Structure 1
Amino acid sequence: MTATPDVDVLIVGSGPAGATYARTIGDAVPGARILMAEVGPRLPGRRGEHTHNLPRAERRAAELLTQGPDAGIERATALAGIAEGADPSMEFRQVVLPGLFFVDPRPVLADGEVGLPAASMASGVGGMGVHWAGGCPRPRQSERVPCIATGELDAALDHAEALLGVTAFGSDQGVAGALRKRMAEAFEGPGLPPVGFMPIAARWDGAELRFSGTGAILGDLEETAPGFELRAETLARRVVVEDGVATGAELEDRRTGEVSVVRARHVVVCADGLRTPQVLFASGVRPPALGRYLNDHLQMVSFVRLDDAFVGGEAAGIEGLGYVLIPFSDDRPIQGGVMSIANSPYGFGAGGRIDDRLGVVSWYGAKDLQRSDAVEFSETETDHYGMPRMSIRYSHTARDLETIEAMRGLSHRSAELVGTLAEEPALAAGGASLHYQGTVRMGATDDGRSVCDPDLKVWGVRNLYVGGNGVIPTATASNPTLTTVALAWRAATRIAAELGGDPRP
């Protein structure tokens, strides 16, 4: 006799993907019993609130709480090399940020490997969704998932933008407009998309700019779906699989050490791009592609002293803000960004005086995907949480080296168009982008090169789903969160339909 499930859906991880699963299923099936397990603690403020929106003291407290094994340790060294007045939470830092901890602070590299020495993660309610910079460009051309029809993917991206509250910051007024026009003159052309502005998951609340954290996705789910429960400081040690069916998970209360098994009709693992394959590995779910095709796109960011033409102007109000976006295309598989920090959404939200001559040029290159780039797991050694210890195998191909040199040239060119470089462009330490993809990648068929199908169901195990950046199978230069939320929404609609709900808006 099959045991009665304790919940309808068990979600491992409380970041943007897990929140999208919960919100989508809860909206479609208000009576569903949904349990979300998060290994990290609850944080100050409303659950899932973005740390940018918190008062300074609460923000600092939240960052100290989400640092996992380094909880409570000040990240004074994380500010080294960042220009005075710059918001210390900005995404282009090349060392570990406050609020994060290193995957492996002492990596051992094999010959020819470059590794991901800056690979980092966070543990706390809301996951990385309480720290992220909010960039939401749409994937373009070969970045798009090929096994999902164009119209269907676009509809999912539309829904993701609505969930995240994406705003199209920027206009051709003021400093941001002048920067966009200069970049358009240099970087538009046949086969290349128009230069515009980075869409950002943020909105105006009166005169205050508020960034969308994971809480923006969850909304009022506790009120609209009474069966939703979020358990903090709860480790998913393994998914329980019986006769090829996921039937629940073994959970550990990290405050008491108590271990219990929660049975579920559907299990969704959205721990992040590195810990999701870790949970599957610990569960004995080990398809050939698990952890393989690890993709952390190449990153090169430089500070620039802006010319007079790009200084001053309107620094407040939506028309005065903008992060210029030079989109990815197959003809130039690199995404660029240029901004005056004082006239950017990040600068506006930083508080205090910011040098209005301080600018940033950034370029992100698509990684040449290879099976050997991987996160691997030990059968005998464990990490801080008692889970299989991770090791990262990562190297650059000849194509990657060409891309890096192209990024260097683009860095010089874009900086010279608007000012003077403050430093020679340098490749960011591997892992600094925090955009780890491909480790549980989706595919059209179970051919050994993917972990899940287009609905994010794990091959060979019924009722087991995954989510997060790790499901993205393509080489990308653009920020992945919008795609991640779109794919999670799409998969969650399938679960909601199986539970008898109407998942479509």
Structure 2
Amino acid sequence: MSESVDVVIVGSGPVGSTFARVIGDARPGCRILVVEAGPRVPGVPGLHTQTMPPEDLASAQLLTQGPQSGIDQSGLRETGEAASLDPVLDQDQLVRPGLFLLGKGAKVEGEFGMAAASMSSGVGGMGIHWSGSSPRPNGTERIPFIPADELDQAYDTADRLLSVGRDLAGGDDLLRRMRSALAAEFDGDAPDASPVIMTPLAAVVDEDGTRVSGPSVILGDLAERVPGFELRAGTLARRVLIEGGTVHGVELESRATGEIYQVRSSEVVVAADALRTPQLLFASGVRPRALGHYINDHLKMTGMAVLPDAFAADDRVPAPVRPIGVVLIPFSSRVREIQGQVHPAARSIWFSGADFAGLAFYGAKELQFSDCVVFSESERDSFGMPAMTIHYTLTDRDRATIDLLESSATRAVAALDGELKSLVFAPGGSSLHYQGSTRMGAADDGESVCDSYGRVWNVHGLTVGGNNVIPTATAANPTITSVALAVRAAQKLAERLGEPEREAEPV
């Protein structure tokens, strides 16, 4: 190994960027190498596509599509079948611009599967494409074995890193009346029901308008302040090098030249998404019982409603100065284990219109050990890594949750005196909120892969981060939770980097 650093971070999305930022802030003298399998995209590293000029947006989408790189997917639309839990799908229609499907192995015959399971491969990861929705989880969505005050502090830091605003509406009358109408419908579901609020959004607001934040906002000026920081694009992590239960470095491959080389490091963080993180652990020989198991994806129902005049708006106000807001019907333990978001088009940064609203309702999936992503010993994917197969089924409880999604969305539209024009139950994988595949636990009991700081059981120096570490059944958008957990894990890792060298003991 001719190259040596203090920590290697695999993945440049919101979570990988958070590890780099927190460690760099705490230990500015550290050498931090972030590797990203995908290419650089226009603009500063990790810039959200929504902030790019149209020509740069189109270029970024073409670049981040992995094996579909360079193929224009802008005319393709997501599809779903509300009438069937096992739809016959045209996979081409599930592709979103800038992403690529897992494809083969995403859906096993006879199972619900995750036919829409998608990934992004480029600097910033999925964080340059996401919506910015950042609600904190409630009740049973929260992780019970992390002290509440510690978790809340981590959420506060995550909010600052992502520039999360609690209410971007700015006192807008339309949003206030819409929230009040939905609160009158849903707040009475139970005495302790989680109240209807405005969705916290990760966004930068200034005189130029509202822009979704992401990895570029998290990283900030880290590259200028930390001389040892490097973001190396087009670099695939093939395996983590482990001897005697201790990390010694990583084996990397240049995607441009095919060169395979090693970098020495005593700390490695894998934050490569909920499918490729367990894949890299498997390729590295790290295969605890729970690896890849308990994978879950939010049950998803989307729709569109026409709004009456009372909730329509004058859409002639220029978009950069238009009030922005999404009304949130939160998850509420034992009351409604779903989350609903109502997006009035007249107050959206994503689309425009005066008299309609988009609906996005998510349900908590019942967790099962049998829901899993497994990896092949012999077959390889387009990156040359172990091929994946997902086993994923719905339970009776899940079917009841799907019914609740439909009835809740219908209630929301009725509360606004709107007209429901479409409501679709989406194929598995559509939410892009895959979780649990390297879940954390309170103890090494075979039901988890890592501890509450993301430290992989029995491998000193190996940390995992991302939606994949979330161990609970949730309906809330998971990114802010993953960033908060990364904050907490990175602080612990930075402490270790500041300690004098000593004989390492596996976690």
Deviation by residue 1:260-313 (Cα, 9 ceiling, x = unmatched): 111101011000011000000000100000000001011111111111111115
| Alignment map for 1:310-459 (pairs within 5 Å) | 310-313=311-314, 320-330=323-333, 331-347=335-351, 354-418=352-416, 419-423=418-422, 425-459=423-457
RMSD: 1.9
Partner of 2:25: 27
Displacement of 1:175 in angstroms is: 2.1
Amino acid at match of 1:136: S
Residues 19, 218 of structure 1: 8 Å contact kept: yes
Distance in 1, matches of 2:2 and 2:451, equals: 27
Distance in 1, matches of 2:171 and 2:178, equals: 9
Partner of 1:258: 259
1:229 correspondence with 2:233: no
Structure 2 CA distance for partners of 1:431 and 1:81, relative to 1, 3 Å? closer
Distance in 2, matches of 1:121 and 1:395, equals: 21
Displacement of 1:114 in angstroms is: 0.3
Partner of 2:51: 53
Structure 2 CA distance for partners of 1:48 and 1:4, relative to 1, 3 Å? same
Deviation by residue 1:44-87 (Cα, 9 ceiling, x = unmatched): 011110000000000110010000000011114424779xxxxx
Residues 41, 125 of structure 1: 8 Å contact kept: yes
Q: Number of paired residues? A: 481
Partner of 2:504: none
Residues 299, 364 of structure 1: 8 Å contact kept: yes
Partner of 2:124: 126
TM-score, normalised relative to structure 2:
0.92
SS in 1 for 2:159: helix
Structure 2 CA distance for partners of 1:51 and 1:392, relative to 1, 3 Å? same
Residues 2, 263 of structure 2: 8 Å contact kept: no
Distance in 2, matches of 1:13 and 1:361, equals: 31
Partner of 2:293: 292
Amino acid at match of 2:271: C
Displacement of 1:173 in angstroms is: 3.0
Partner of 2:505: none
Residues 105, 388 of structure 2: 8 Å contact kept: no
Partner of 1:96: 95
| Alignment map for 1:95-114 (pairs within 5 Å) | 95-105=94-104, 107-111=106-110, 113-114=111-112
Amino acid at match of 1:335: Q
SS in 2 for 1:368: coil
Structure 2 CA distance for partners of 1:346 and 1:56, relative to 1, 3 Å? same
Deviation by residue 1:186-210 (Cα, 9 ceiling, x = unmatched): 0002121211101111021213212
Partner of 1:162: 160
Distance in 2, matches of 1:80 and 1:263, equals: 43
Residues 117, 430 of structure 1: 8 Å contact kept: yes
1:6 corresponds to which of 4, 18, 26: 4
Distance in 2, matches of 1:108 and 1:453, equals: 30
Displacement of 1:413 in angstroms is: 1.5
Structure 2 CA distance for partners of 1:29 and 1:489, relative to 1, 3 Å? same
| Alignment map for 1:239-254 (pairs within 5 Å) | 239-254=240-255
Distance in 2, matches of 1:51 and 1:107, equals: 27
Residues 126, 214 of structure 1: 8 Å contact kept: yes
Structure 2 CA distance for partners of 1:432 and 1:206, relative to 1, 3 Å? same
Displacement of 1:421 in angstroms is: 1.0
Distance in 2, matches of 1:58 and 1:110, equals: 39
Residues 104, 390 of structure 1: 8 Å contact kept: no
Displacement of 1:320 in angstroms is: 2.9
Which stretch of the first structure deviates more once superposed, 3-12 or 402-411? 3-12
SS in 1 for 2:256: coil
SS in 2 for 1:240: strand
Displacement of 1:32 in angstroms is: 0.1
Distance in 2, matches of 1:208 and 1:71, equals: 31
Displacement of 1:5 in angstroms is: 7.4
Structure 2 CA distance for partners of 1:345 and 1:199, relative to 1, 3 Å? farther
Percent identity for Structure 1 against Structure 2: 51
Residues 326, 343 of structure 2: 8 Å contact kept: yes
Residues 343, 359 of structure 2: 8 Å contact kept: yes
| Alignment map for 1:476-487 (pairs within 5 Å) | 476-487=474-485
Residues 173, 319 of structure 1: 8 Å contact kept: no
Residues 251, 261 of structure 2: 8 Å contact kept: yes
Which stretch of the first structure deviates more once superposed, 246-255 or 336-345? 336-345
SS in 2 for 1:426: strand
Deviation by residue 1:160-190 (Cα, 9 ceiling, x = unmatched): 0000000122255332222111101100021
Which stretch of the first structure deviates more once superposed, 143-152 or 165-174? 165-174
Distance in 2, matches of 1:371 and 1:107, equals: 17
SS in 1 for 2:76: helix
Partner of 1:204: 205
1:488 correspondence with 2:491: no
Amino acid at match of 1:134: G
Amino acid at match of 2:255: R
Distance in 1, matches of 2:3 and 2:247, equals: 11
Displacement of 1:110 in angstroms is: 3.9
Distance in 1, matches of 2:440 and 2:321, equals: 38
Residues 79, 94 of structure 2: 8 Å contact kept: no
Partner of 1:115: 113
Amino acid at match of 2:496: E
Amino acid at match of 1:254: R
Residues 272, 469 of structure 1: 8 Å contact kept: yes
Structure 2 CA distance for partners of 1:77 and 1:114, relative to 1, 3 Å? farther
Distance in 1, matches of 2:343 and 2:3, equals: 51
Structure 2 CA distance for partners of 1:124 and 1:307, relative to 1, 3 Å? same
Deviation by residue 1:404-438 (Cα, 9 ceiling, x = unmatched): 01111112111222211112x22111111111100
Residues 171, 322 of structure 1: 8 Å contact kept: no
Which stretch of the first structure deviates more once superposed, 4-13 or 400-409? 4-13
Distance in 1, matches of 2:104 and 2:376, equals: 16
Partner of 1:467: 465
